[in-house]
Amino acid sequence: MNLQKRIEELNPISSLYNQDFLLTWKKSGSDLRLVMEIASILKEMRHQNISPRVFDSGLAVSIFRDNSTRTRFSYASAANMLGLTVQDMDETKSQIAHGETVRETANMISFLSDFIGIRDDMYLGEGHKYMEEVSKALDEGFEKEVLPQRPGLINLQCDMDHPTQSMADALHLREHFGSFEELRGKKIVMSWAYSPSYGKPLSVPQGIIALMSRFGMHVELCHPEGYNLIPEIIDVAKNNSRNTDGTFKISHSMEDAMKDADIVYPKSWAPFHIMEQRTELLKKSDKQGLADLEQSCLAENAKFKNWEYDAKKMKLTKNGKALYMHCLPADISGVSCKEGEVSADVFEKFRLQTYIEAGYKPYIIAAMMFAYKFEHPALALKEILGLKMNRVGM
């Protein structure tokens, strides 16, 4: 289908217009599909050398409270694609250290900003809360005419969800299998896997079960006993499955879960109760307590070194070739670590696929920006086509 036809089939009005994007389960199914279709259209535009620069100036501010490669560069790529300049905010070099409040910071960085992207996944119960506080501060600044425009807020990963990742993953699945309708009835396994590190966020597995359960899939969450996720998000996945004629189950055997799976996502995370303890220790700056907790967690993880996705487990999947997914970087046994989440031979089979999977994220973020800024995204995209501006001069 050509670009013109695809654009014409978009929803005429975006209910995401002037709405922050924080949690996928707070958005309608049509909203999510709109973002993913805009992302796909923007990707095709780039392939056809069409420039979608809809901004002549403006900032996209990024605040990363945790290390990042893919998401950081995806956010920068998305902003640049649309014509915005990225300004990364280093909180260690700001007045936050001197007591500047969230309300003040949010307004001070927003005078000429169109978007603020935040990654805050270190503190359980705090990341999403912080984003909501920033959102309220922006509302006040705009309503009181302090700000000339209200910047859109995008969740680049919090303690609850990682929407840019899960939606990039969903778009990858759509492209791989042909359509969202083809995902109905497919089995996806979100499985814990062994890692020689501790404290990995819960937001990726939570984001996956909360989003994939909206497509009529058979979603299975698999982990050792005790490696639970946030209970409220488990409920979200259960409700989604009931509403889409899919299924959701929790199991505790990696081998059993992999049987007849169409898609597998072996990924380590820290247990919910451990992240609660870790958060309290971080708040107190208890270095010894954190060190002790890390050692006890690593010892507990070591009991489950057999939770590695290898060739034997892959053979259990449908036709022995389920699509392997990972948000990256994966802990690859014998490559990035001695023992890890996935064996080197299995990862190598799907390595390029994981790169393709990651490649959808810049377009997802750009689409979130686009749907926020344009109430009629189809009209804006049609105008871009009509301008016939080449990204690279020909």
So what's the pLDDT on residue 1? Answer: 64
So what's the pLDDT on residue 199? Answer: 83
Same domain for 321 and 241? Answer: yes
Same domain for 110 and 231? Answer: no
Closest CA to 32 of 185, 214, 206: 214
Same domain for 32 and 46? Answer: yes
Same domain for 68 and 110? Answer: yes
Q: Distance between CA atoms of 347 and 207, rounded to whole angstroms?
A: 22
Same domain for 44 and 55? Answer: yes
Low-confidence ranges of the chain (pLDDT < 50): none
Contact 235, 173 (CB under 8 A): no
Same domain for 10 and 156? Answer: yes
So what's the pLDDT on residue 347? Answer: 98
Q: Show the domain range for 142.
A: 3-161+361-387
Give the burial class of 288: count Cβ atoms within 10 A of its Cβ; 0-12 exposed, 13-18 middle, 19 or more buried.
exposed
394 is a domain residue: no
Instruction: Return all residues near 384 (Cβ < 8 A) that are at least 6 apart.
Output: 45, 50, 51, 52, 54
3-class secondary structure, 28: coil
Same domain for 150 and 246? Answer: no
So what's the pLDDT on residue 11? Answer: 84
Same domain for 232 and 322? Answer: yes
392 is a domain residue: no
199 is a domain residue: yes
Same domain for 92 and 108? Answer: yes
92 is a domain residue: yes
Residue 57 has which token pair?
């100036």
Into how many domains does the chain fold?
2
234 is a domain residue: yes
So what's the pLDDT on residue 91? Answer: 78
- For the segment 71-88, what is each residue's pLDDT rounded down to a tens digit? 999 999 999 999 999 999
Cα distances from 213 to residues 54, 137, 247, 313, 374, in angstroms, run 34, 33, 8, 23, 28
Contact 208, 179 (CB under 8 A): no
- For the segment 292-348, what is each residue's pLDDT rounded down to a tens digit? 999 999 999 999 999 999 999 999 999 999 999 999 999 999 999 999 999 999 999
So what's the pLDDT on residue 220? Answer: 98
Same domain for 188 and 337? Answer: yes
Looking at the DSSP assignment, which residues form a beta bridge with residue 220? 189, 249
80 is a domain residue: yes
Strands (E), 259-362: 263-266, 323-324, 332-333, 342-343
What's the CATH code of the domain at 76? 3.40.50.1370
Same domain for 149 and 257? Answer: no
So what's the pLDDT on residue 96? Answer: 63
Q: Distance between CA atoms of 165 and 21, rounded to whole angstroms?
A: 13
- pTM value is 0.96
Same domain for 211 and 338? Answer: yes
